[in-house]
Amino acid sequence: MKMVHVTIYTGCIEDSIKFYKDVVGLNVQNDFREFGGNIVFLAKDKGDTQVELIDDPQKAYKGSGISMGFHVDDVEAKREELIAKGLHVTPIIAPNPHAKFFFVEDPNGVTVQFI
């Protein structure tokens, strides 16, 4: 079994698309707004697990307790990049010699981890 996508209902789809493109490094795979829809799929490459954004302010995510993790080659460099973009990031956490990560929130309040 392969995970296909994670869905986030959003009231700010343009901000969400920008975040997942500019901060996470994903690319738009399908944009159904071109056809009058309200859904955009993003992933690094075709065939990867996608982030599905659905523009629906009434169902927009407002909770906590959800986190998505993305691998990066250099945690320190990614953190500095996001700080330079004006994002609020957590300190780097290193629970053991083999893992380092930090967190930032997307425009919807979803916690995004870079590890």
Q: Specify the CATH number for the domain of residue 28.
A: 3.10.180.10
Task: State pTM to two decimals.
Answer: 0.91
Residues in the chain, overall count:
115
Instruction: Give the tens place of pLDDT for each residue, 38-81.
Output: 999 999 999 999 999 999 999 999 878 889 999 999 999 999 99
pLDDT at 40: 98
C-alpha torsion angle, residues 34, 22, 20, 27 (rounded to 10): 50
Q: Span 2-31, mean pLDDT?
A: 96
Sheet-wide strand order for 5-10? 5-10, 50-55, 39-43, 27-31
pLDDT at 1: 87
> 17-21: long-range contacts at Cβ-Cβ below 8 A with a sequence spacing of 24 or more?
17/42, 17/53, 19/106, 19/107, 20/51, 20/53, 20/106
Q: How many domains does the chain have?
A: 1
Alpha-carbon gap, residue 31 to 93, rounded angstroms:
35
Domain with 86, as residue range(s), is 5-57+66-114
Ranges 17-26, 27-36, 83-92: which has the least confidence: 27-36
Evaluated on CA atoms 49, 55, 113, 81, the torsion sign reads: positive
The answer, yes or no, to whether residue 92 has pLDDT greater than 90, is yes
Alpha-carbon gap, residue 105 to 109, rounded angstroms:
5
Token pair listed for 56: 């629906």
pLDDT at 34: 85
